[in-house]
Structure 1
């Protein structure tokens, strides 16, 4: 079975439902004010006050929505259960991974959803529907799959870690359950150097060119391997001379 996930109109609307409700309330209030005696209510003042109240609440929603959309524009997540592979399609380029290549799936949600765990009484906010998955593979590649593509509460991939945050904007770092770095930077570089030792120069350069797609440690490992190979070539050239 092959399932394709990408941004859809329904996901856009569902994520924006809090914003749309706020706009509807403001519009309804305006229409109601127009239908009654103008002496009883200052329509312009109502619209001004209503807008000033909505802007601080809706601005974070607009920020999240645009940043999520830009991150997932032209991106597809394909899960092929018959062959046990993931296909990450970006701008027409496809990256294939076995299920066994998956090492991390972080689920980032609004802190409201932590109520189910600690039974607190947190309120729903307009940006509560937003969230994303940070997916990482053995080669250091990382992908963001946002709520504009999937149902982040019931994702199609098993979760390894959960992070509850007041404002779930996309972070470029990974967190464990205690929200600290998972491992030491140099240790990760060493790990990637072992993983990449048989990669061609072209494959290593691809990681450097597309560094935003990969873990920083993976990119640094690729740079160090290329640098070491370049040094060896220079030494060999000197010997031949």
Structure 2
């Protein structure tokens, strides 16, 4: 695969389309609301426009902040990926550098929390800022880049870097000092499975006596780690109570 990516307006067009839907929706819903409530006849006046404007600004505030953050970081960035020749070329603020894909030390995708549905099927609602995301890419020599999907739309493609890790966030603002551990999709799945098992064991063991619970804690090696974790949660809740 050989591809060259640079700043484009694709994502901005998507946000614009979503906002058009939002405005049309408000314009349609308001008269229906007035009709159902049997209040005075709906009039599209200046007050209604002001109220809509406030809703519009609140609705878009996360987008404005994140989009400006991404634009500031990537406005003079271009990336060329050539998997056939195992190379990545990056131009940032007029400085051009060439790397081999094998020189990548860390590859982390920071995605909206909506995309965690792929792992736990939690049926989260898609928000207007869900498709904003960035790629934290670090090389062995210490060079580090934050590549948003204003440049590379990587949300629906397979990662070009093996063992790419993931962070799922409510607000995908580029945080260069973020030290929280990212996980591979496999690790995320295992973490979710462990959490689910622990919750099941909490429900199962909550009626056990304190003696029975302490017996499990005193013989941890005989039990699953999820069982031990569940017992610790139950005893902790009893101590708090």
- Unaligned runs of 5+ residues in structure 2 are 31-39, 184-241
CA RMSD after TM alignment: 2.6
* Aligned ranges 1:171-210 → 2 under 5 Å: 171-173=175-177, 174-177=179-182
Partner of 1:64: 66
SS of the aligned residue for 2:127 comes to coil
From 157, 160, 166, the counterpart of 1:157 = 160
SS in 1 for 2:117: helix
Q: Distance in 2 between matches of 1:102 and 1:77?
A: 14
What is the match of residue 173 of structure 2?
169
Please say which of residues 99-108 and 4-13 is displaced more in the overlay.
4-13
Whether contact under 8 Å (2:88, 2:101) holds in the other structure is yes
- The 1-side partners of 2:49 and 2:149 are apart by 31
Could you state the TM-score of these two structures normalised by the residue count of structure 1? 0.63
Residue 162 of structure 1 and its aligned partner are, at CA, apart by 0.4
Q: Indicate if the aligned counterparts of 1:15 and 1:148 stay in contact, CA closer than 8 A.
A: no
TM-score (normalised: structure 2): 0.63
Q: Structure 1 residues 88, 15: CA separation in 2 closer, same or farther (over 3 Å shift)? A: farther
Question: Residues 112 and 91 of structure 1: is their aligned pair in 2 closer, same or farther, counting only changes over 3 Å?
Answer: same
- 1:52-201 mapped onto 2 (5 Å cutoff): 52-153=54-155, 154=157, 157-158=160-161, 160-173=164-177, 174-177=179-182
- 1:176-224 CA-partner distances (Å, limit 9, x unpaired): 236xxxxxxxxxxxxxxxxxxxxxxxxxxxxxxxxxxxxxxxxxxxxxx
- The separation in 2 between residues aligned to 1:122 and 1:100, in whole angstroms, is 36
2:51 alignment counterpart:
49
User: Is contact 1:15–1:130 with CA below 8 Å preserved after alignment?
Assistant: no
Count of residue pairs the alignment pairs up: 172
Q: Distance in 1 between matches of 2:3 and 2:152?
A: 11
Residue 2 of structure 1 and its aligned partner are, at CA, apart by: 3.1
Could you tell me whether the CA contact under 8 Å between 1:130 and 1:168 is conserved in 2? Answer: yes
For the 8 Å contact 2:108–2:182, the answer to whether it is kept is no
Distance verdict in 2 for CA 1:90–1:177, change over 3 Å: closer
- Determine the C-alpha separation between the residues in 1 that align with 2:76 and 2:180: 27
CA–CA separation in structure 2 for the residues paired with 1:76 and 1:58:
27
Q: In structure 1, what is the Cα distance between the partners aligned to 2:16 and 2:169?
A: 18
* Cα displacement (A) at 1:85: 1.3
Gapped regions of structure 1 (runs ≥ 5): 31-38, 179-241
- State the partner residue of 2:14: 14
